Each structure stands twice: as C-alpha cells, then as structure tokens.
C-alpha cells in the first residue's frame, strides 16, 4: 500500500516536472523548481541526464544543501564536465544539442507565450519585471517545459508582453515567424499538467493532479481551457521523491 504523503505546492511542481524528463536527455535548466526537478530526475530515474546552466556549465552534479542562488555562480559547476562561456552554452541551443528547456514563468497565455518583462503597458508598466535572461533564447530554440503556480492572474488570455515565445498566435504562427524548431511541450502547475493542441496550439489539460477537479482548473485559469471528460490523473509524489527533494533543499529555499 502506498503511504499518503503531505507535500507543498512547490514540491508537487518539482516532482511532476522531474517525471517528464527522460534519461539521456540534455536539459537546459533555470534556477529554482527547474533545477530541483532536473536534479531529482538525475538522482532517481535519469543518471544519464545532462544538465546545462546558462552561466556556462555542461554536465554538473549539484551538491545537496548547496543550491546556487542563480545559474551563474560556482555552486552550479560542481563535478561539471565542461565550463564554457555564456555565449557558447547558449549557442548549444541554436546548434540543436538541447532536448528540453526548463524554466519557471511569471505569466503565460493560451498559446504558451511567457511574460517576465512587464505587467501592464510596456511603455508605462505597473511593474517592471526582471526580464528574459536566457528565457527568450531557450524558448525560441528548443522544446519547453514550464513550471509555475496555477493562478488566474498568471494564466491569462493574452500576455502583456511576449518575453519568451510559445506558439505566438497559435496555428503555424511560430514557424512562420522564423522559429522553425522547439515550442511548448508541457506546462506543469500545482493543479495539473497542461499540453497544447497539435493544430490550434491552444493550451489544454493533459492530466489533473490527485484530488483536483476540472472546476478548480477552470476557476484558476483566465481563459476557456479544454478539459476532456476522460482526462488522466497523475500519481501523487512518493516518499522516495520527497525524500530526495528535502535532502537537496534542507533550508527550503525553493520547496517551501
């Protein structure tokens, strides 16, 4: 019998995202939940996963309890296979060496476009956000997994500003704009796993997390989102997964 575990929303995000990664993939990871999820996957089912960090690290092994404050400090480089310049590590995306890009999001829309630049009118914003970093490069050039909290203000019909492109206006608009590869693969939230229709490129629900109802997803999404009647339910986080996460982040920098 499976033991019922209690877990935080961030732990759920990290576990569900980590499960989407496959052994052998090369994953370009941001800091926070992406870093935790990829490290979790590496420890449990993907010893052959290769992590890339934007600061210029290829193939590191993050040390438990010493999580880096960004992807650009020496803590990112532990047991790495190679250190290279920022420009060269990002060029691996353009050259086609990266299977999955993995990052968090502030605001996302029905076509998977991400905004991390401005809340409100970009010319006169209510909030100036920190910006793209490598987010635009990653989402322009490879297949993406995004992990974020599921809130109405974050899941909007149209983002105020497209920092990191998803499927732009849907249909073939992404490819038409010159972004011929990559695109949104999955969005992982604390309520569900979302994917995108092959034709329209609109976001839909791929699976609900345990105990989550379709109504909850509708109530927390700022646009009409498709949920099929026979939608799958995910398996709850296991003790083994939560143990690894809590060992990695004992100070609860990211899993609180």
Partner 1 sequence: MTQSYLDLRAATKARDRSLREKVMTLEEAVGLVNDGDSVAIGGCTASRTPMALIWALIRARKSDLSISRSITSTEGDLLFASGVSRHILTSWFSQGIVWGISKVMRAYTESHRARFEEWSHMSIGLRYRAGAMGIPFIPMRAMLGSDVAGQLDNIKEIDCPFTGEKVLLIPALNPNVALIHVPRCDAFGNAQIDGLQFMDIDMAMAANRVILTTERIISNDQIRRAPDQTKIPFIAVDAVVEVPYGSAPHECYGIYEPMFEHMDAYAALTAKDPEAGVAEYLERHYYGPNCWSDYLDLLGIGELLDASRRGRSIYND
The answer to whether residue 65 forms part of the interface with partner 1 (CB under 8 A) is no
The answer to whether residue 62 forms part of the interface with partner 1 (CB under 8 A) is no
φ/ψ (deg, to 5) at 40 = -60, -50
The residue range among 7-15, 134-142, 204-212, 226-234 that interacts with partner 1, by the rule CB under 8 A, is 134-142
Give the separation between CA 106 and CA 181, rounded to whole angstroms.
Answer: 23
Give the separation between CA 180 and CA 1, rounded to whole angstroms.
Answer: 47
The residue range among 2-10, 39-47, 52-60, 219-227 that interacts with partner 1, by the rule CB under 8 A, is 52-60
Give the separation between CA 34 and CA 75, rounded to whole angstroms.
Answer: 16
The answer to whether residue 87 forms part of the interface with partner 1 (CB under 8 A) is yes
Catalogue the active-site residues: 54
The answer to whether residue 179 forms part of the interface with partner 1 (CB under 8 A) is yes
The answer to whether residue 164 forms part of the interface with partner 1 (CB under 8 A) is yes
**Taking the complex as a whole, how short is the minimal distance between the CB of residue 18 and partner 1, in angstroms?**
19
> From residue 112, how far is each of 29, 41, 133, 154 by CA, in Å?
18, 24, 18, 11
The answer to whether residue 55 forms part of the interface with partner 1 (CB under 8 A) is yes
Burial of 140 (0-12, 13-18, 19+ CB in 10 A): buried
Give the DSSP letter of residue 223: S
| Token pair 């040390």: residue | 63
**Taking the complex as a whole, how short is the minimal distance between the CB of residue 35 and partner 1, in angstroms?**
10
- From residue 67 to residue 86, the character string flagging contacts with partner 1 as x (rule: CB under 8 A) and all else as - is --xx-xxxxxxxx---xxxx
Candidate list 178, 198, 199, 215; residue touching partner 1; CB under 8 A: 178
């Amino acid at each position: 019998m499976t033991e019922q575990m209690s877990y935080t929303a961030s732990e759920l995000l990290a576990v569900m995202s980590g499960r989407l990664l496959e052994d052998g993939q090369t994953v370009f990871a941001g800091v926070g939940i992406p870093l935790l999820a990829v490290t979790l996957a590496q420890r449990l089912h993907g010893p052959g996963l290769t992590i890339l960090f934007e600061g210029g690290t290829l193939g590191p092994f993050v040390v438990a309890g010493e999580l880096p404050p960004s992807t650009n400090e020496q803590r990112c480089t532990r047991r790495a296979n190679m250190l290279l310049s920022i420009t060269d590590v990002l060029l691996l995306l353009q050259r086609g060496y990266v299977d999955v890009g993995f990052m968090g999001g502030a605001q996302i829309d029905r076509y998977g476009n991400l905004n991390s630049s401005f809340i409100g009118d970009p010319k006169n914003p209510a909030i100036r956000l920190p910006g793209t970093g490598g987010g635009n490069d990653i989402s322009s050039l490879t297949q993406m997994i995004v992990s974020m909290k599921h809130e109405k203000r974050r899941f909007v019909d149209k983002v105020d500003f497209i920092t990191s492109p998803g499927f732009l206006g849907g249909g073939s608009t992404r490819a038409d704009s010159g972004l011929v590869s990559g695109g949104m693969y999955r969005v992982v939230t604390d309520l569900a796993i979302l994917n995108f229709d092959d034709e329209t490129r609109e976001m839909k629900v791929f699976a609900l997390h345990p105990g989550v109802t379709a109504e909850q997803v509708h109530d927390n999404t700022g646009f009409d989102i498709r949920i099929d009647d026979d939608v799958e339910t995910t398996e709850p986080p296991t003790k083994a997964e939560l143990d690894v996460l809590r060992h990695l982040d004992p100070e609860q920098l990211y899993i609180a």
